[in-house]
Amino acid sequence: MELTLHVTVATDVGCEREHNEDAAALAGTVIQHDHGDPQTWNLTVEQPLRIVVCDGMGGHLGGETASQIAACELSKPGDDVAADIQRVSDDLNRLGQARPELRGLGTTAVVVEVRPDGTASIFHVGDSRAYLADPELSALTVDDRVAANLPVLTQALGPMDKPLDVHCYDLDLLAGQRLLLCSDGLVDVVSDTDIECLLEGDDASTRLVTAALKGGAPDNVTVAVIDVVTSPKRRLSPAEVSL
């Protein structure tokens, strides 16, 4: 059985920001615009594939630049996602030092790498998140914040001139599961309970962004919804689980 996925990505500038400093990417294709229809892909995974959501910081130009560079670079094939995250962080740090108009630029990153054998790994730095719906919603990441209710990051790509603590979570992909990658522009406005409900149905990405906009969306909002259509991994029966 092949690993096949349906992926939908949506991003929006929100209600208060003038520019979108979020970016998403799939296999080197970057999505970053103020408003627009969701983009979709139906994929057969024949080699490792990366999907990324980034939330930039450092002002209009700095934030847009940091998230765009990170999303593009981290979605390209590579041997080691954590090492790639550190490399991109170092590159952004040097870019900020070399160009005064970009000083202080940085970005969060949440990356899922899926593989043909049906395994996947989530990598993240910052407070962009990953969730799994199977069918109940569970968070796969913990925010790098000084406190849960304070949007002050303890680490991000770019501004830190020291090694990052790249968090990693491994999982098997099973048919019927749905993964969500998102920026904090969603989770700071829409509760996990509402996210779980909104993830149901074919238009989940649109419903999630719309809910954030209805909630006032003071920040940019980006979501990537990944459906596992078929997988080489088999769901265990209750009898097998109890063994």
Per-residue model confidence (pLDDT) at position 38: 95
Using the predicted structure, report yes or no on whether residue 178 has a pLDDT greater than 80. yes
Percent above pLDDT 70 for the chain: 97
Query: Residue 15 CA to chain centroid, in angstroms?
Result: 21
Number of CB atoms found within 10 A of residue 29's CB:
13
Per-residue model confidence (pLDDT) at position 70: 98
Using the predicted structure, report yes or no on whether residue 241 has a pLDDT greater than 80. no
CATH number at residue 141: 3.60.40.10
Percent above pLDDT 90 for the chain: 85
Per-residue model confidence (pLDDT) at position 162: 85
Per-residue model confidence (pLDDT) at position 163: 95
Per-residue model confidence (pLDDT) at position 240: 59
Query: Residue 197 CA to chain centroid, in angstroms?
Result: 19
Query: Burial of 98 by CB count in 10 Å (0-12 exposed, 13-18 middle, 19+ buried)?
Result: exposed
Q: Read off the pLDDT of each residue in 27-41 and give the average, rounded to a whole number.
A: 92
Domain that holds residue 34: 4-242
Using the predicted structure, report yes or no on whether residue 230 has a pLDDT greater than 80. yes
Per-residue model confidence (pLDDT) at position 36: 82
**C-alpha closest to that of 174 among 114, 121, 230:** 230
Rg of the chain, C-alpha, whole Å: 17
Task: Using pLDDT thresholds of 50, 70 and 90, give the confidence band for residue 150.
Answer: confident
Tally of domains in the chain? 1
Instruction: Note the pTM of the prediction, 2 decimals.
Output: 0.95
Measured distance CA(9)–CA(158) in Å, rounded: 24
**C-alpha closest to that of 157 among 220, 222, 99, 85:** 85
Measured distance CA(14)–CA(220) in Å, rounded: 5
Measured distance CA(72)–CA(27) in Å, rounded: 8
Task: Using pLDDT thresholds of 50, 70 and 90, give the confidence band for residue 237.
Answer: low
Q: What is the pLDDT of residues 68-115, one digit of tens each?
A: 999 999 999 999 999 999 999 999 999 999 999 898 899 999 999 999
Per-residue model confidence (pLDDT) at position 2: 97
